[in-house]
Amino acid sequence: MKIQFFQKPILITLLALFFILQTHAQENLPFGQRKEIISPEVHQDNSVTFRLLAPNADSVSVTGDFAQGSEKMTKDADGVWSFTTHPLPSELYTYAFMVNGLQMNDPNNVYYRRDVASTLNIILVGGGEADLYKVNDVPHGTVAKRWYESPGNKANRRITIYTPPGYESDKTSYPVLYLLHGMGGDEEAWPTLGRATQIIDNLIARGKAKPMIIVMPNGNVAQEAAPGESSDGFYKPNFRLPNTMDGKYEETFIDIINFVDKNYRTVRNKSGRAIAGLSMGGYHSSHISRYYPNTFDYVGLFSAAIVPDKNMKSKVYENIDGTLLKQKQNGCKLYWIGIGKEDFLYQANTDYRKKLDAMDFKYIYRESEGGHTWRNWRIYLSEFLPLLFN
Amino acid sequence: MKIQFFQKPILITLLALFFILQTHAQENLPFGQRKEIISPEVHQDNSVTFRLLAPNADSVSVTGDFAQGSEKMTKDADGVWSFTTHPLPSELYTYAFMVNGLQMNDPNNVYYRRDVASTLNIILVGGGEADLYKVNDVPHGTVAKRWYESPGNKANRRITIYTPPGYESDKTSYPVLYLLHGMGGDEEAWPTLGRATQIIDNLIARGKAKPMIIVMPNGNVAQEAAPGESSDGFYKPNFRLPNTMDGKYEETFIDIINFVDKNYRTVRNKSGRAIAGLSMGGYHSSHISRYYPNTFDYVGLFSAAIVPDKNMKSKVYENIDGTLLKQKQNGCKLYWIGIGKEDFLYQANTDYRKKLDAMDFKYIYRESEGGHTWRNWRIYLSEFLPLLFN
């Protein structure tokens, strides 16, 4: 591999530049470290080594969802702390270091995911279910960040839209999945934490899912866009936002459907629409699919919150049982409920299934291990997508 | 502001969940900190306070491009270290903390930018030129991540494309700016470090720039996509990539033009095309605009590398003087050169201007303070865009 690009004088000045720039954070060139650290390193057998150069630290450990608790790291003669895991099951993991009791990110890993107000490093261990979360050498859809007019909220709002490979070159009309995030999420949640665009690319390539458009809106009507992406500027994100589960999003969801049907080649009827979401997004999916009769043939509730606050006054929450019965009578090709055994919403979902059973409302029920986690929501999405639009 | 969303039992289980989740990194809820830390805090007078909770640390400082060197922080009784700057000029700054000599990011700031293999926190201080870098309450264009076929590289490659507000609803054909990154950059560089989509949104809204499409390709032909966005997986990014300045990108640039002209409503002639880039992207812009005669009416060289390696054999670099003369004779509405007084490429640009002067090739020359920095490239872009397509 030939890597001489420059005439010698230019090369020398370039190298000189690198040393000058060490002191300037803005350029962030990867020079000037005493030792090149690779962290994390995923080995052939799916064990992972974490490394941190911290010669003066007294104690360093690594904490993440690959382990219970934290794992002590050990220091070598060069001041590099390291820890190697056992072979790990295939998954997308998050982790951080604890240095003398202070949590910090891995300076040698540029891959991060924000979840509300925290940002953690990620690692992808393949060879199993997480192969669906990888960017593989398959045709890729387009991921667009757009703004749409919401007359119901008197606002322009940001939205993430995935169109499948081929969308731009053919004339086909595509079915649409509306995919909703949980409390504290936004239009960035499914594409980042949920790896939704990788999952659908891979499932389409494997012939396991129909090509479809996936619409990922922002379900916080008090927000125009994800933190940092609106005129509110860079602020510390909050978990609890106002007007999040008060019916307003459901009422104004028609603005999103209208926007999508106007701007994309969609299948503009019930058989071409699915709606699914996690936690608060499952709540929204259940209520939206009731509230707009004959609009969605496919509904997915992932670890869903179900029951609205009794004091919440909205026409969306009037006559829930009656509209649910109507939804059943109108027909709904797939009503899918997924919940983890350790989820704090397990009982609420059990109660809800009893209600559905009592009215002979057919659904598919998927009970998984674990709780209220992105790990489960990625798995649910991977299982739900192949069932759509068949 | 009413924020009671849940029935009381659900609220209680939700709150219980938050405490459980403190130990689970994956959820990253902003609870469980002993004290709510706001950092950074930009004050009315544009001074900025940085804060870090680190009760056991012996010394903490903050380092960034808002200051020369680093600034010592002081600890309060709660173990919170802080430092407040003087009022700062309007700019997008990067920074990090040094804790007992170890660099770490600010755990209370979710806003980051990656530059090659480093990831630093950012702050935006408004009230001046950085107002162009903000998301303001103006119409927003669409930013799409797409993949295009490059027959010349026998690869599918990722590309960022900005279409202006109104593009999807009107029938107009738009001019196109091809905007190229530097060495170590990729199709993410201009949208993130360069704030290019915010700058163009704001300039269009102010009536200072024509609505246009901005195409931001990946100039490393050895790469299909930015790190983490290709089937190479999550690896540590490198500054020096093979085949970066060997003529291959210039030769195959026609694949990008063809893709854009086929997939977008573009002005398909010279008067509707501009090309500009920083550092290596300036190098590419100078050579591409020569190599494809009568293709670009607008050329921008931002802190450009100019002269190819003498040993580099490519038809792109044959007869540079002759093709440059031809470019002049064919006509070029704008040839814009920007360079900082402290840039290591200052002399190379001076020499290049002498060459242009000698052949009476007209250009606009912008000499700025500072060196080879994103600060300058954002300023150059902000000044260059208003000159296009008039």
The candidate with the shortest Cα–Cα distance to B102, out of A48, A60, A74, A62, is A60
Instruction: Give the per-residue pLDDT at B31.
Output: 41
Q: Which two tokens stand for residue B132?
A: 């162009």
Please indicate, yes or no, whether residues A101 and A246 belong to a single structural domain of this protein.
no
Identity at B263, one-letter amino acid code: N
Give yes or no for residue A14 having a pLDDT over 70.
Answer: no
Please indicate, yes or no, whether residues B203 and B92 belong to a single structural domain of this protein.
no
Please indicate, yes or no, whether residues B108 and B168 belong to a single structural domain of this protein.
no
Please indicate, yes or no, whether residues B246 and B370 belong to a single structural domain of this protein.
yes
pLDDT band, residue A34 (cuts 50/70/90): low
Backbone angles phi, psi at B242, to 5 degrees: -70, 160
Q: Collect all residues of chain B within an 8 Å Cβ-Cβ radius of residue A240.
A: 3, 5
Q: Which two tokens stand for residue A285?
A: 């999916």
Please indicate, yes or no, whether residues A115 and A76 belong to a single structural domain of this protein.
yes
CA gap A357, A355 in Å, rounded:
5
Report in angstroms the alpha-carbon separations of B360 from B295, B327, B339, B356, B363.
Answer: 20, 12, 20, 6, 9
Residues for chain B: how many in total?
A: 390
Domain assignment present for residue A156? The answer is yes
Q: Which of B56, B109, B312 sits opposite A100 (nearest CB)?
A: B56
pLDDT band, residue A241 (cuts 50/70/90): confident
Q: How many CA atoms lie within 13 A of A214 on its CB side?
A: 32
Domain assignment present for residue A100? The answer is yes
Instruction: Give the per-residue pLDDT at B311.
Output: 86
Mean pLDDT computed over B338-365: 98
Instruction: Give the per-residue pLDDT at B1.
Output: 30
Decide: A284 and A250 in contact? Cβ < 8 Å: yes
Identity at B224, one-letter amino acid code: E
Q: Collect all residues of chain A within an 8 Å Cβ-Cβ radius of residue B121.
A: none
Buried b (16+ CB within 10 A) or exposed e, B217-234: bbbbbebbbbbbbbeeeb
Nearest CA in chain A to B245: A5
CA gap A347, B60 in Å, rounded:
47
**Above pLDDT 90, what percent of chain A?**
87
Q: Collect all residues of chain A within an 8 Å Cβ-Cβ radius of residue B238.
A: 30
Mean pLDDT computed over A222-234: 97
Residue that terminates a domain, selected from A97, A126, A155: A126
CA gap A148, A262 in Å, rounded:
11
Mean pLDDT computed over A171-184: 97
Q: Collect all residues of chain A within an 8 Å Cβ-Cβ radius of residue B29.
A: 115-116, 118, 184, 239
Domain assignment present for residue A19? The answer is no
Q: Which one has a higher pLDDT value, A7 or A93?
A: A93
CA gap A210, A200 in Å, rounded:
9
For chain A, what is the mean pLDDT? 92
Per mean pLDDT, which range of A220-229, A373-382, B306-315 is the poorest? B306-315
The answer to whether the CB atoms of B168 and A13 lie below 8 A apart is: no
The candidate with the shortest Cα–Cα distance to B96, out of A26, A20, A101, is A26
Q: List the CATH number of the domain containing A228.
A: 3.40.50.1820
Range of the domain at B293: 133-387
Domain assignment present for residue A44? The answer is yes
CA gap A321, B355 in Å, rounded:
80
* Sign (positive or negative) of CA dihedral A278, A280, A283, A288: negative
Decide: B283 and B303 in contact? Cβ < 8 Å: no
Domain assignment present for residue A13? The answer is no
The candidate with the shortest Cα–Cα distance to A382, out of A257, A197, A135, is A197
Indicate the burial class of B162 (C-beta count within 10 angstroms; 0-12, 13-18, 19 or more).
buried
Domain assignment present for residue A4? The answer is no
Please indicate, yes or no, whether residues B161 and B43 belong to a single structural domain of this protein.
no
pLDDT band, residue A111 (cuts 50/70/90): very high
Domain assignment present for residue A208? The answer is yes
Element (H, E) at B8: helix B8-21
Instruction: Give the per-residue pLDDT at B34.
Output: 53
Identity at A327, one-letter amino acid code: Q
Decide: B18 and B32 in contact? Cβ < 8 Å: yes
Mean pLDDT computed over A236-246: 87
Please indicate, yes or no, whether residues B217 and B233 belong to a single structural domain of this protein.
yes
pLDDT band, residue A35 (cuts 50/70/90): low
Alpha helices in B173-230 (DSSP H): 189-192, 196-205
Give yes or no for residue B4 having a pLDDT over 80.
Answer: no
Give yes or no for residue B329 having a pLDDT over 90.
Answer: yes
Domain assignment present for residue A364? The answer is yes
Q: Collect all residues of chain B within an 8 Å Cβ-Cβ radius of residue A30.
A: 116-118, 236-239
* Sign (positive or negative) of CA dihedral A305, A307, A310, A315: positive
Q: What is the DSSP letter of B280?
A: H
Please indicate, yes or no, whether residues A374 and A253 belong to a single structural domain of this protein.
yes
CA gap B162, B164 in Å, rounded:
6
Decide: A279 and A302 in contact? Cβ < 8 Å: yes
Instruction: Give the per-residue pLDDT at B250.
Output: 98
Q: What is the DSSP letter of A174?
A: B
Cross-strand bridge partners of residue B215: B161, B178
pLDDT band, residue A36 (cuts 50/70/90): confident
Q: Which two tokens stand for residue B88?
A: 């700062």
CA gap B160, B265 in Å, rounded:
16
Give yes or no for residue B7 having a pLDDT over 90.
Answer: no
Q: Which of B99, B105, B311 sits opposite A4 (nearest CB)?
A: B311
Cα B260 to the chain's mean position, in Å? 21
Report in angstroms the alpha-carbon separations of B81 from A148, B37, B43, B97.
Answer: 42, 10, 18, 10
Could you tell me what percentage of chain A is helix, strand and coil, using 3-state DSSP and rounding each to the nearest 5?
Answer: 25, 25, 45
Tens of pLDDT, residues B264-288: 999 999 999 999 999 999 999 999 9
Tens of pLDDT, residues A270-318: 999 999 999 999 999 999 999 999 999 999 999 999 989 888 889 999 9
Q: Which two tokens stand for residue B62?
A: 């903050």
CA gap B164, B204 in Å, rounded:
8
DSSP string, B224-251: SSSTTSSTT-S----S--TTSSSSHHHH
Q: How many CA atoms lie within 13 A of A339 on its CB side?
A: 23
Tens of pLDDT, residues A342-357: 999 999 999 999 999 9
Nearest CA in chain B to A15: B344
Instruction: Give the per-residue pLDDT at B335.
Output: 98
Instruction: Give the per-residue pLDDT at A6.
Output: 40
The candidate with the shortest Cα–Cα distance to A29, out of B380, B193, B140, B12, is B193
Closest chain B C-alpha to A26 CA, distance in angstroms: 6
Please indicate, yes or no, whether residues A111 and A147 belong to a single structural domain of this protein.
no
The answer to whether the CB atoms of A239 and B13 lie below 8 A apart is: no
The candidate with the shortest Cα–Cα distance to A318, out of A250, A258, A243, A256, is A250
Mean pLDDT computed over B302-313: 91
Residue that terminates a domain, selected from B96, B126, B156: B126
Please indicate, yes or no, whether residues B119 and B228 belong to a single structural domain of this protein.
no
Q: List the CATH number of the domain containing A99.
A: 2.60.40.10
Please indicate, yes or no, whether residues B50 and B190 belong to a single structural domain of this protein.
no
Please indicate, yes or no, whether residues A139 and A244 belong to a single structural domain of this protein.
yes
Residue A154: which residues within 8 A CB-CB, separation 6 or more? none
Q: Collect all residues of chain B within an 8 Å Cβ-Cβ radius of residue A238.
A: 30
Residue that terminates a domain, selected from B109, B126, B143: B126
Decide: A209 and A386 in contact? Cβ < 8 Å: yes
The answer to whether the CB atoms of B94 and A146 lie below 8 A apart is: no
The answer to whether the CB atoms of A95 and B16 lie below 8 A apart is: no
Instruction: Give the per-residue pLDDT at A311.
Output: 86
**Above pLDDT 70, what percent of chain B?**
91
Number of domains observed in the structure of chain B: 3
pLDDT band, residue B240 (cuts 50/70/90): confident
ipTM here = 0.92
Tens of pLDDT, residues B87-138: 999 999 999 999 999 999 999 999 999 999 999 999 999 999 999 999 999 9
The candidate with the shortest Cα–Cα distance to B22, out of A347, A305, A342, A118, is A118
Mean pLDDT computed over B69-79: 96
Closest chain B C-alpha to A386 CA, distance in angstroms: 23
Tens of pLDDT, residues A44-72: 999 999 999 999 999 999 999 999 889 99
Alpha helices in chain A (DSSP H): 8-21, 189-192, 196-205, 248-251, 253-263, 280-291, 320-330, 346-358, 374-384
Tens of pLDDT, residues B146-172: 999 999 999 999 999 999 999 999 999
Angle CA(A355)–CA(A356)–CA(A357) in degrees, nearest 5? 90
Cβ pairs bridging A and B (under 8 Å): 273
For chain B, what is the mean pLDDT? 92
